[in-house]
Amino acid sequence: MTSSNNGIKGLLPPSAGAGDRIRAHAAIALAKFLKTGLRIAGRAGTALPGKSALKLQPKLLPLLTENRLVYLVTGTNGKTTTVRILCTILEEQGYNVITNPSGANLDSGLTTTLIDHSKILKNTPDNKLAIVLEIDEAFFAKLAGSLNPTVIVVTNFFRDQLDRYGELQHTRDLIARGLDQTEAQLVLCADDSLCASLARGREQRSHFFGMDTSAMQPGKASGVLESGFCTFCGSRYEYKSTAYGHLGDFICPSCGFARPHPELLFTAGADPDGLVQAQQLNLSRITADGQALSVQARLSVPGIHNAYNASGAILAALLGGSDLDQLAQALPMASAAFGRMERFAVGKREVSLILVKNPVGMDRALEFVLAAEDFGSCMMLLNANDPDGRDVSWIWDVDFEDKLPQGRIGISGIRRADLALRL
């Protein structure tokens, strides 16, 4: 169904040939049949329907995403939270948003997600439809070109699951290859030297977000510094100020590569109503003529790292055509994703659930716990399943000596003995 009057172009693009259309519709029908059968059998069915559909029509992903507003989010930390915030602020502006469940970020899972929402794809006007997808770093190079992205957000790079990703430069290069398969606008963290380096050779489509340097700590941060050497010449960076980890106002004294000027600046402060699980963001968008458009907004997720996530989501929405004032009004509606600074009641107690998977993530979690005025006790669970990463040696890079909370601490999980030894 195609209509030029209401902006609805149907499920497949007009450019699709007859053969592609026949195979696509057959693939979608097969996937829906399998999904129904798996549901009856009590199974989730996030991968098999999409995998089977791609066997019939390998071009299904590009066919379903052509000429649509598509956001991709990748990077080490903050993908799920950034996607959650971006989806919320778009929905608050009236968009019908399609997104993939956390974990369904390979081609099969993405295909299943789009097929599950085929009615929305078919019947929603283009100016009211947005697709927001979280993409695993290891598979970004393979998938980016087939998803026709409008905007790509790269959150940051931190050492993570070495058994899966290898070292940081390898992960950065994987994402760089994916970027070169698209013509998407790029949203990059200015304060992360590896992330900012992705703009080299892609300057005309690169846009940066970052913390206002006036809010950073002078000099180089203590603790985990994972990207201290220049991507291009190998010299050690100098830091005028830092936010946390290796995020900060960096410059290479040898080749001159330095932190770019952000298009969207933020500072973060305490929530004016004193809410522990919220913070106030001051956001400034720097226009082409150097003027600053500034707004204030509440973010209902704590932590400076989540201020970065929110800023990346907001800049992505701006590049997609949204208005800064409207985004600021929508931001308070965004809530924590599962396990990401999630807070809930257990009996008469309040519990914060914090997922960490690398040294910098644990560093952020410990900072949050140390600052919590209502801290009572802490339970740490360390696992080593495939989704977690088998290599747990990263716990030896965490600054437990200076940041371990005072009080009762319990340990559990598959690798609890390793954690007990570390502590």
Please state the φ and ψ torsions of residue 148, each to the nearest 5 degrees.
Answer: 50, 50
Vertex 200: Cα angle to 194 and 206 (nearest 5): 90
Helix axes 18-40, 48-56, angle to 10 degrees: 160
Q: How far apart are CA 215 and CA 58, in angstroms?
A: 49
Tell me if residue 271 is catalytic: no
Please state the φ and ψ torsions of residue 118, each to the nearest 5 degrees.
Answer: -60, -35
Catalytic pick from 192, 363, 391, 418? Answer: 391
HEC per residue, the chain:
CCCCCCCCCCCCCCCCCHHHHHHHHHHHHHHHHHHHHHHHCCCCCCCHHHHHHHHHCCCHHHHHHCCCCEEEEECCCCHHHHHHHHHHHHHCCCCEEEECCCCCCCHHHHHHHHHHCHHHHHHCCHHHEEEEEECCHHHHHHHHHHCCCCEEEECCCCCCCHHHHCCHHHHHHHHHHHHCCCCCEEEEECCCHHHHHCCCCCHHHEEEEEECHHHCEECCCCCCCCCCECCCCCCECEEEEEEECCEEEEECCCCCCECCCCCEEEEEEECCCCCCCCEEEEEEEECCCCCEEEEEEEECCCCHHHHHHHHHHHHHHHHCCCCHHHHHHHHHHCCCCCCEEEEEEECCEEEEEECCCCHHHHHHHHHHHHHCCCCCEEEEECCCCCCCCCCCHHHHHCCHHHHCCCCEEEEECCCHHHHHHHC
Question: Which residues are within 8 A (CB) of 161 and not within 5 positions of it... i.e. 6 or more apart?
Answer: 357, 358, 388, 389, 391
- Catalytic residues, by residue number, are 391
